[in-house]
Structure 1
Amino acid sequence: MTENEGNIENAPSSLLQDSPRVQKKGILLINTGTPDSPKPEDIRTYLAEFLSDRNLIDVPPFIWNIILNAFILRKRPKITSGRYQSIWTPEGSPFMVHSLSLRDKLQNYLDQHATNTCFVVEFGARYGNPSIEKAFSRFAEAGCTSVTSIPLFPQTAFSTTKTCLEKARSVARTYPNISHQCIKGYSDEPLYIEAIKNIILRSWNYEPGSKLLFTFHSVPLKHINRGDSYVAEIEQSMNTLAQSLNIPRQDWEITFHSRFEDSRKWVGPNIYTVLQVLAQKKVNRVAIIAPGFSADCLETLYDCDVVQRKFFDKACQDEGIESDFTYIPSLNDDDIFVELLATIAAGI
């Protein structure tokens, strides 16, 4: 018997796994998802689910189904397959590798620090695998009496947090013996600011006159007009972050990327417009970070680190200057990020 096994009330979570006297609580980490492989058929399956979410699509269903099945699902998988292949690792999708590592590190952290409660941590994808349904099944098998769902989006949005929690609540209703709580956003948490700050400091050295760009996935302007707090949360958290870095206002900027190609008006400024203007102003030293993405994925590793880098290189070349472009990675399984999740989910 170990020292802690004799005192269940103060035993860490790792020693409480099989104790019938201890309540088990689940923590569900939710993120968007990724195809099972970079093959076109797997991308098609993923996109079919992703682009059928009415939280993302404003087009009338009848019209959208024609567009989706007759055009997008026929062409897009082949186009994006090569992009996915360029970032895929021997272990699989970087997004999934980082997400599962985050899950495991949070589980280990709670095993070591939690007392009185045994926590079970699962990861569930809003689209694709592993599904939120599978996560709840595992919670039930483990004997959890409650589950706390955390969408891994620091700034809340209709197209991310809202749809993830709607799905989690829908699945939770099929488990009447498990109570369900939700956490919406954490951009105002000091540990979030600290984690992003440390990632930046490890990856890039600020110099006066250089530019730090915070780039976020854009959303339709009509979402903001309907009360989506996404942009307000971005502005508040990035202002706090820049102040903690002691970077003057003229040397950082909020930008947006990944607009859908449609007629809707989207939140800006567009990252490519900003990069073009910076090159024209002879500002050649730029760092880009996407603080709204908790795990590196196609949109960060390809769109930011490849496409935006090439765009800025070309823009600088046209101006007769040499570009100095740095991509700063997402939090992924960062230790401070793990501590943040333990704090907001388990109060540790």
Structure 2
Amino acid sequence: MKGVLLVNLGSPASTSTKDVRKYLDEFLMDERVIDAPRWLRTILVRGIILNTRPKKSAKAYKKIWWDEGSPLIVLSERLLDKVQKKTELPVSLAMRYGSPSIKMGLQELHDKGVTDVLIVPLYPQHAMATTDTILVLAEELRQAFFPQMKFKHIPAFYHKKDYIKVLAESIKNNLEGKEWDKILFSYHGIPERHVRKSDITKSHCKPNDSVNFECCKTSSAAHEFCYKHQCYETTKQVVEYLDLQPHQYFVSFQSRLAGDPWLQPYTDKLLEKYPEEGVKKLAVVTPAFVSDCLETLEEIAMEGKEEFLKAGGEAFYAIPCINDSDAWVDVLVNWIEE
């Protein structure tokens, strides 16, 4: 029997510092998120980061928390409900970190008699710290608890025409009737070394080429797993769909950690300098996410807006993610049925 497991990032159970610390511990101790030796990762995470960051993050979560709970969880549950209503296959929801866990999602499918599981990582672009960590953990759980199951997964869908249409139409609809100078495509940042580690050719990627990104334009087998290339390709296809001119859009990366070089240019730096360059009305879209979360609702729609307006901007439009839109649901169902 076939079934589907939708997998998103995850969220703390509540906005309490205790729950946020528990969530961050699971997240940051993942070797594919902070890819340092365990002894060093333990010192960094449990000796330094978890002593200060949970309290700050808890305050941020409180700013975006809904009455029903975490926006990311609520939106993912809504997506699940809509998808399930349009397919006869059993569909479960899991989070890579927090609850419901991937083990819980697989157990739910197992209890319904499912033996063939289609895993759907809800990330448009492939990255070591997102897609890879889901698939690796799922396989570990399969071997330990569900050896009779067989897995397939939907690969990164950053360039699929039906996804691009949903994303582009969402941008178009959200900006209808609004005046804007530029659209900023703000993707979640990753360390440059993650791009190099994902290069299966071990020779192609030049992640610090932030101006011309020539390696991202040059055809290579490395692109199958190159997060940076896939971000630029998503932007390229949306731009073509919307018929945008070069001066009307730009690409940036957000949510970096201090210490290591991350993909550039940085979103916050652009927000600070755009007004003095004549960009007074800015729209920001976050295509690394399909569900609104802390990084979109607080970092961009609140902090980003404040930074931009403080620097002299006049209008700031944070475009919502595609979330549980009917068009996105239809695309997911089509992929599942195929």
TM above 0.5: yes
Instruction: Find the residue that maps to 1:32 and give its secondary structure.
Output: strand
Instruction: Find the residue that maps to 1:275 and give its secondary structure.
Output: helix
Equivalent of 2:166 in 186, 195, 214 = 195
In structure 1, distance between residues paired with 2:15 and 2:337: 36
In structure 2, distance between residues paired with 1:99 and 1:261: 30
In structure 1, distance between residues paired with 2:325 and 2:16: 30
In the TM superposition, 1:25-40 aligns within 5 A as: 25-40=2-17
The aligned counterpart of 1:99 is 76
The aligned counterpart of 1:282 is 278
In structure 2, distance between residues paired with 1:125 and 1:51: 15
In structure 2, distance between residues paired with 1:206 and 1:315: 24
Inter-CA distance 207–91: structure 2 relative to 1 (3 Å threshold): closer
The aligned counterpart of 1:141 is 111
> Following TM superposition, by how much is the alpha carbon of 1:249 offset from its aligned partner in structure 2, in angstroms?
1.5
Query: What amino acid is the match of 1:249?
Result: P
Query: What amino acid is the match of 2:304?
Result: Q
The aligned counterpart of 1:46 is 23
In structure 2, distance between residues paired with 1:59 and 1:77: 21
Verify the 8 A CA contact 1:191 1:336 in the aligned structure 2: no
Query: What amino acid is the match of 1:224?
Result: V
Equivalent of 1:167 in 137, 146, 160 = 137
Q: Does 1:129 align with 2:106?
A: no
The aligned counterpart of 1:229 is 226
Verify the 8 A CA contact 1:256 1:269 in the aligned structure 2: yes
Verify the 8 A CA contact 1:272 1:308 in the aligned structure 2: yes
In structure 2, distance between residues paired with 1:73 and 1:333: 33
The total of aligned residue pairs comes to 311
In structure 1, distance between residues paired with 2:320 and 2:242: 17
Q: Does 1:271 align with 2:234?
A: no
Alignment deviations for residues 106-161 of structure 1 (CA, whole Å, 9 cap, x no partner): 000114xxxxxxx1111111111000000111111101121010110011111111
> Following TM superposition, by how much is the alpha carbon of 1:225 offset from its aligned partner in structure 2, in angstroms?
2.1
The aligned counterpart of 1:345 is 336
> Following TM superposition, by how much is the alpha carbon of 1:207 offset from its aligned partner in structure 2, in angstroms?
7.6
The aligned counterpart of 2:239 is 242
Equivalent of 1:215 in 186, 189, 194 = 186
In structure 1, distance between residues paired with 2:30 and 2:331: 29
**Runs of 4 or more off by more than 6 Å in structure 1?**
206-209
Q: TM-score, normalised by structure 1?
A: 0.86
Over alpha carbons, which structure has the higher Rg?
Answer: 1
Query: What amino acid is the match of 1:65?
Result: T
> Following TM superposition, by how much is the alpha carbon of 1:28 offset from its aligned partner in structure 2, in angstroms?
0.6
Inter-CA distance 209–78: structure 2 relative to 1 (3 Å threshold): closer
> Following TM superposition, by how much is the alpha carbon of 1:209 offset from its aligned partner in structure 2, in angstroms?
7.0
Structure 1, 95-104 or 270-279: larger mean CA deviation: 270-279
Inter-CA distance 45–60: structure 2 relative to 1 (3 Å threshold): same
Q: Specify every segment of 5 or more residues in structure 2 that has no aligned partner in the other structure, as ranges.
A: 200-224
Instruction: Find the residue that maps to 1:89 and give its secondary structure.
Output: coil
Instruction: Find the residue that maps to 1:91 and give its secondary structure.
Output: coil
Q: Does 1:151 align with 2:121?
A: yes
Instruction: Find the residue that maps to 1:147 and give its secondary structure.
Output: strand
In structure 2, distance between residues paired with 1:128 and 1:276: 34
Verify the 8 A CA contact 1:33 1:129 in the aligned structure 2: yes
Instruction: Find the residue that maps to 1:140 and give its secondary structure.
Output: helix
> Following TM superposition, by how much is the alpha carbon of 1:218 offset from its aligned partner in structure 2, in angstroms?
0.7
In structure 1, distance between residues paired with 2:247 and 2:180: 8
Q: Does 1:333 align with 2:310?
A: no
Alignment deviations for residues 255-295 of structure 1 (CA, whole Å, 9 cap, x no partner): 10000122x11111101222233211121010001011111
Instruction: Find the residue that maps to 1:184 and give its secondary structure.
Output: coil
The aligned counterpart of 1:6 is none
> Following TM superposition, by how much is the alpha carbon of 1:70 offset from its aligned partner in structure 2, in angstroms?
2.4
In structure 2, distance between residues paired with 1:212 and 1:196: 13
Q: What CA RMSD, in Å, does the superposition of the two structures yield over aligned residues?
A: 1.5
Q: TM-score, normalised by structure 2?
A: 0.89
In structure 1, distance between residues paired with 2:268 and 2:60: 19
Equivalent of 1:252 in 249, 256, 262 = 249
Alignment deviations for residues 63-110 of structure 1 (CA, whole Å, 9 cap, x no partner): 221222222212211111111111111100110000011011100011
Equivalent of 1:78 in 44, 55, 70 = 55
